Structure 1
Amino acid sequence: MTDAPLWTKDKPPRQGLGLMRLRDADGGTPDADRDPVAVVHAALDAGITLLDTAELYGNEDLVGRTIAGRRHEVTLCTKFGVVWGAQSDDWSVHADPASVVASCEASLSRLNIETIDLYYLHHRSEDTPIEETITAMAELVDSGKIRAIGLSNVTAEDVRRAHAVHPILAVQEQWSLASRDVETTMLPTVVELGITLVAHSPLGHGILGGTSDPASPDVARTLADIATGDGVSAGQVALAWVHSQAERRNHPVVPLPGSTSVQHVLANVLASTIRLRDEDIVRLDEVSAATGPIPSR
């Protein structure tokens, strides 16, 4: 049993922690900075309460172990629907009512919890009408298996149809200086319906934080210039830009950076406190032309 807080329209989480890459060490003792339990506990100790995983990530059992004894501090999110095939790039979506129930029961067992705080459909289905999926998820709410419903990798029309069946708490989509399509394809709909936008990959899978080759040299130079002037890192500035969208749009936006390092978790937490100057936000807007999405997660 848990009394874990669930955000409301008036008080969403400030930031979450994406756990897509959280893994046990491959033999031996993991480096202290990358021990998965240490990473999650560092986030919780720093005030991050929103943890996000998925059945697709193959780590729900690990996530369950990392929060054992601290479940009451966590708003726990997981996702269902995307299933790997025989090949590494072969996947399909299972969103029919029977799969909804089976996936939920399996996730509850792996996570070793009684209730999932926020349960996402991980990807839209071409085969199952979203109304059928959401009806099955609403029954999970009624039975106490989940507390709220979310959507990811869907269209604005999907969100409208789903929300007409049962209130949708959050829509999770890519949003960063490297991927801004959400501003025209999804944001107007979630603002209209009062649905929180969870912005995954706010560092562009590393290309905005210096761990991958930059997608745009102009964006990289501007981030570096602002970061140098403020005594922070380029990645922290990029994350602060996503944070700034909540105030600019007068709508809840929850950045969801992922990390497998205690050091990076703490840097990301610090980024949530940075307030960019209006002129720096304008500079970043101007150099970050809207681009197509980077790989989905």
Structure 2
Amino acid sequence: MNLFRREPSRRPVEDVDLDSLLALVAESLGYSFEFAPDGSTVALGGPQPLVVQLKGLRREAGRRAREDWPMLVSEHLAHAVATAGDRLDVCELKQVRSLLRTRVEAVDEIPDLTRVVGRHLNADLVELLTVGSRPVRPEESGCWPVPTGQALDLAVANVRARERLRVEHIELSGTPVTRLTASSPSAATHLRWLSSYLAVPSDGALVVLPDPYTLLLHPVDGIGVVRAIERLRVHAARTDGLSSQVYWWHEGRLTLIRADIVTRDGQTRLVVAPPPDFARVLARLAV
């Protein structure tokens, strides 16, 4: 076994323990190892020598319980070995800055939210930070000289700069809606600039997200919005895509309008439970 090259007595015990795990996993993968004096990297020697960044791993380990460390270290080194031939090092922000994007996913579809980088749009949906087609791992973004929120803002700016959605006006059972379509799975990111695609009234718009590439919208501009909720909810349920629910986009927030399709005595109806703010809008529109 290689000897650590730093003075043990001057190092935090957490670093010593994490390096011990790294050493064990490296040897199990058939590699020798040598840590940089500052602990920022470990050089793996063997059939495919490589240098593995550790700064982000140490940050992530500091946020996790110790029982999670073996899994965290194993995944980190296994991923580094698997991608050793790639020219792109996600731990280097300069390399990936222009490739950062976002993708919206249903929270229930993500096995472990602690293994991805993102932020919630609401309780049901999360906006993930991606490089190419895959989510960024926390230990990768932890290497960057910017906080997670700023990295997500960089990705959002890239989405806006590199794509404009296609706008179509369609009908759902006689109810007019606007369909916005993207060529990448970042359609929901464009909600931030919705007014550049259609006239958005002061009360906002109804939104459904049948898939990561599509938005369907209806303005909240009259009592006809009640019928629109029904049409959008039924359509979203049929597509069985990103979300089957209807949302309210207003003042930069995406709020769930709970609408359940209930079948009783052979009859199907929609039971809507709007959030208080939206209920007040409906009451005003009904006058």
Alignment TM class, shorter chain as reference: under 0.3
Under a length normalisation based on structure 2, what TM-score does the superposition of the two structures give? 0.23
TM-score, normalising length: structure 1? 0.22
Greater relative contact order (Cα < 8 A, sep 6+): 1
Structure with a larger share of its residues in strand: 2
